[in-house]
Chains A and B, each alone.
Chain A
Amino acid sequence: MSQQTEPRSKSEERAAAVKAATVAVPKPLTFWEQYRRKPQGMVGLGIVIVYVLIALFAPYIAPYDPMEDLYLADRLAAPAWMAKTSAKFKDAPPTIRMNLGPDDWVREEVDDISISPYEFPYFDGVGMEIVLPQTHVVEVEETVEEDTWEEEEGFWASAATDWDPWGLLESNEETEPSPEPEDEYGFDFEPEIDSGIDASAKKLLLTYEVDYDYTPPQTFSFSFDYSVDAPSSAETVIMLELMTPDGEVFDVWDARVYGSVESGTVLVDARDYDLKMRLGQGFFDEPTDILFSERGTYTLRLSSWTDSKEGPVTLMVTPVKFEILGLVHGILGVDHMGSDLWSQLIYGTRIALAIGLSSAFIAIVIGTSVGLCAGYFGGAVDEVLMRIADVLMSIPDLPVLIILGALFGKSVLNIVILLAIFSWMGIARLVRSQTLSLKERMFVEAAKASGASGGYIMREHILPNVMPLIFANLVLRIPGAILTEASLSFLGLGDPRVPTWGRMLQNAKQFGAFTRLAWWWLLPPGIALTLLSLAFVFIGNSVNEIYNPRYRERS
């Protein structure tokens, strides 16, 4: 069925072990000269070098960290170039992020209101310090009564903070229900005047125009923090509105503050039920059916006014973060967590190479030592070691790796070790039979006669002679290790903390790549895996052709 690589090589090695006596060892000097003439080998080498370079320079090639940089775009955003090539994603919005500071806003000039830039710690960009004067001018038309039902009780009780029997909580921010807003703002007008604020208040109005020339997004958000320093008797209103190109204004957030507030956080998000309710929508409706649903200029309006009679009110506003999560992003789009797929692909190279090389290396070390010992010492040592190899060989590796992975935890190191433990047997057999035949040779006999120790003979006489064999096997073992690790990751048994290609494929299957027909999520990791494995097969075959003439005859 699938993944025949491992057992197939096992079986071939079993056969090869028999023939090992016939392996001809060329002079090492000529190796590179011979290798250079193998086009397959050179292609393989070239590919591997490219992968190694990618792995080394991953942080320079990949624009993002695959594990840390999340929410770069909307869930499952398509590659950016799809906006030009595909009808489905034509003119889809990229991620738009803005931090609106004092210089960005267009200010409606009103006397006595001063705005000065203010830099907040922890916030990008420049915020504002706004001083609203005491109330003294009557201005009826422009006054907007806000509407605060979501603040006041909080539909899901999350805002029901007033009740505080143990004095645990402090709530300065208080709100109360208000009558209907004015007709101008798209609400049904009810000419009831709110008693709270003196209509003579001076109003701050900041506007910012956003040209939106894309298809509707799925997610947009506005966020900022604010604080109010006001006399305790003062009532201050802060409000955020959005005006569509056809002039309709939607009140997306507002707050009514009594006295001072140390800090308040505002987040208006298209995914929030609060906003849906404000827009009169239901649970399954999308605010983007109303806002950013058409192309044109949207105007963001931040306004504030106060009825303070005992002195000015200072309002601190951090930069207003405006964000539209893109439906297209980067070279390969993003996954379900908004993580950049291109970066995942690039960083995956590191893990694949590391796992493939290290586990093949460990397997070779174990296999060579076992093979040398078994072959050299023979007898009971040989018998025991070969029986262990027999047992391990008859265990289907993937099921065991699944079980052991669940048992010992899913770290990369564990996976490497487990892969190595289940793949040294073939090499051990090869090395053993080679050792058996070398043991009988003259130079070994001579060394023995001169009183050299077993370890010395193995190291100095036998090992150099089996080296070429080991090298070819090392290379041919790598793709098996890479593919088995990918299978494990794909089955959800890989290390959850590292980005691997197997995991990319698993996520693609699990989190909607099929629903979206996101081939750009599925194809790259698979192709990357195939190419890398193929390169090692090329190299291994070429090495084998040089060291094993029989092999050359065959292919």
Chain B
Amino acid sequence: MPKKVRLPIAVVLALVLALGIAGAPGAAKMAFETTGPHVDEIIMPIIKEQQARRIAYERGESVVWSGLTQPEDIDRAKAMPNSDMTMTLGFHMFYLCFNMRKEPLASQPIRQAIAHCVDRDNIIRTLFKGYMLPMTSFVPQVSPFYKADVPVYPFSYAKAAEVLDKAGYKLDPVTKVRIDPKTGKPLAQMKIFTPTYEVAATSAELGKMIADSCQKVGLPVVPEPMDFPVMLDKIDIRDFDMYVLAWSLSRNPDFLYDFFHSSQDVEAGYNNPGMRNPEYDKQSELLRYASNLKEAKAASDACQMILAREMPYVPLYSRPYIDAFRKDLVTGYVPMKGFGAASYNNLWTTLNIRRVDRSGRPIEGGTIRWALSEEPKNLNPCVASSAYEQEVLSRLNDSLMAMHPDTLDDMPWMARKWDVGVWEPQPGKKGTTVTWYIEKGIKWSDGMPFTAEDVEFTINYLKANKVPRYLPATQDIVKVELLDKYTVKVYFANVSYWHIYSADLSFLPKHIWKDVKDWKGFEPWKEPHPKIKGYSKLVGTGPFILKEYVPGEYVRLVKNPNYWRLKK
């Protein structure tokens, strides 16, 4: 047995947090190029069954086995000698939500006590064999806005009981249920809604575990598994006590406004717990309408402190991205912090992945196979909304800014730079402006140049048609001004740093879309390109072109010969 070399904690932390990788040696390949792609063709078979994807991966019919969550699969993948396991922390958050509108959950000690009853470690070890990460914060750890020093509520029955006793909720020695001091009656039963066992066995089980712990301290909590759509409906009409669900969050913490600001406690709003806290409202407005990152950081810190005290949610765990790659077939994939090595947000893997020969040396060109877990369904960029569609679309389109895989900083991409300014939409009112300077020489996949006109067209088109998918992004845009062929200025009705991300859309080629009337029913991947034979109207600026999509079977992407980041 090898003598253990004890790594200083800092090194381990750095390895796991900063690089986002642990485990298999040699996995840390953070070197990445900004040119590519290095393969000629990607064939993406659509394999919906997880087990069948495993077979495909083992046979080499897919170079990746992505999005691993089941311990059986992870163990199986890591046991394969030609597997390279990658793990990065993600923006996933699984949480327990309270309905703060009604008693007894309106009372903070009860929420605190329940938070003390959550045994995250046990949940993670029994349900996920340790392959999840306990989460106690309202902003995922991997986010630059994560605040480490907020109070947390460690698992302890004693502490839970103490909190309850202090607040006057005495335990009835006979019924073992706590008495509400305000009414003098035992607490009413509280239900935890969870998806059913079939849909999400782990969630259903998790609800049961939390309920069991709560009962130990005299809180009458019971789990109630229900169908997912029914559950969403009940949450929408606020007919719940507690529920467990997951968010897939983003790098920017503006979700703190959407989730907990009192203005979002409306129908179809996301303030499901019903948090109404003037102090929080003020801070989250500062966050939402921050004019720069520094202000945003300060406001987000304040928000996280208040949330830690109020506990509208109990954050439970965060799912890391775990992907297995066949290292005997490919190399060059980039484990991007917060997004994983194989996720669609990861432009760097798309650009850098390449095949290897028998001796393990990278080779240019050729075909790789990459299994998709779902049908892309709708490739119309105006209506595509699911991750499965992005799996394909993200490889066909580029954006104005890119994200550094390690620091998550914004990087110039199709825009060589951008300026953020201020203007006066109305006298005495301030609004943000963003000026984009677009890289010259970028071409659409059909050879037409990509210019500021396309940016202008896209924003106006989405705004004019009130495309719901992009409504949150476009509703604050007042106008778009074309400064020259490669410069465009976007005017917003109010001040917010986050507006720079609003204008970074999935761009529509003006020369195709200007004639499209029915944007909802348009199926660009099915219609032949007006000029070029063999091309469809699905035109993008990204590294690949959609060559073929056979519904239910596979998607075939080929290298875009007009790609602007091709290695010369």
Contact = CB atoms under 8 A, between A and B. Distances in A.
The answer to whether A and B touch in the complex, with CB atoms under 8 Å apart, is: yes
A186 B3 contact: yes
Interface in B114-132: 120-122, 124-126, 129-131
A409 B230 CA distance: 9
Nearest to A190: B6
Contacts of B76: 515
A164 B151 contact: yes
A31 interface: no
B197 interface: yes
Given A263-B158, A515-B73, A283 B136 contact: no
Contact of B70 (A166, A262, A507, A512): A512
Interface in A58-90: 70-71, 75-76
B471 interface: no
A506 interface: yes
A554 B122 CA distance: 63
B13 A496 contact: no
Of the candidates A71, A158, A269, A337, the one having the most CB atoms from chain B within 10 angstroms of its own CB is A158
A157 B156 CA distance: 16
A50 B92 CA distance: 50
Q: Give the interface residue-count category, chain A.
A: 35 or more
Contacts of B151: 161, 163-166, 168-169
A514 B136 contact: no
B201 A157 contact: no
Interface stretch (B16-24, B238-246, B400-408, B455-463): B16-24
Of the candidates A169, A276, A290, A509, the one having the most CB atoms from chain B within 10 angstroms of its own CB is A169
Contacts of B252: none
Contact of B72 (A75, A263, A273, A290): A75
A402 B196 CA distance: 15
A75 B71 contact: yes
B125 A271 contact: yes
Given A514-B51, A515-B73, A516-B72, A157 B148 contact: yes
A412 to B, nearest CB: 14
A443 interface: no
Q: Give the interface residue-count category, chain B.
A: 35 or more
B205 A180 contact: no
B148 A160 contact: yes
A201 B22 CA distance: 39
B125 A272 contact: yes
Interface in A259-314: 262-263, 265, 267, 269, 271-273, 276-277, 279-280, 282-285, 290
B345 interface: no
Given A149-B9, A156-B134, A496 B225 contact: yes
A148 to B, nearest CB: 10
A157 B149 CA distance: 8
Interface string B78-101: 100000010100000000000000
Contact of A244 (B1, B54, B131): B1
Contacts of A283: 16, 22-23, 87, 131
Contacts of A263: 156, 158
Contacts of A218: 75
A276 B125 CA distance: 13
B174 interface: no
Contacts of B133: 156, 273
Per CB-CB distance, the 10 closest pairs between chain A and chain B, nearest first, are A284-B23, A271-B130, A283-B22, A492-B198, A282-B23, A512-B72, A271-B125, A282-B22, A280-B4, A496-B197
10 contacts: A161-B154, A265-B155, A271-B124, A272-B125, A273-B130, A282-B22, A337-B205, A409-B227, A496-B225, A510-B201
Given A76-B72, A285-B23, A512-B72, 12 more contacts: A156-B134, A156-B141, A157-B148, A157-B152, A219-B129, A273-B133, A283-B131, A406-B227, A406-B229, A506-B198, A511-B70, A511-B201
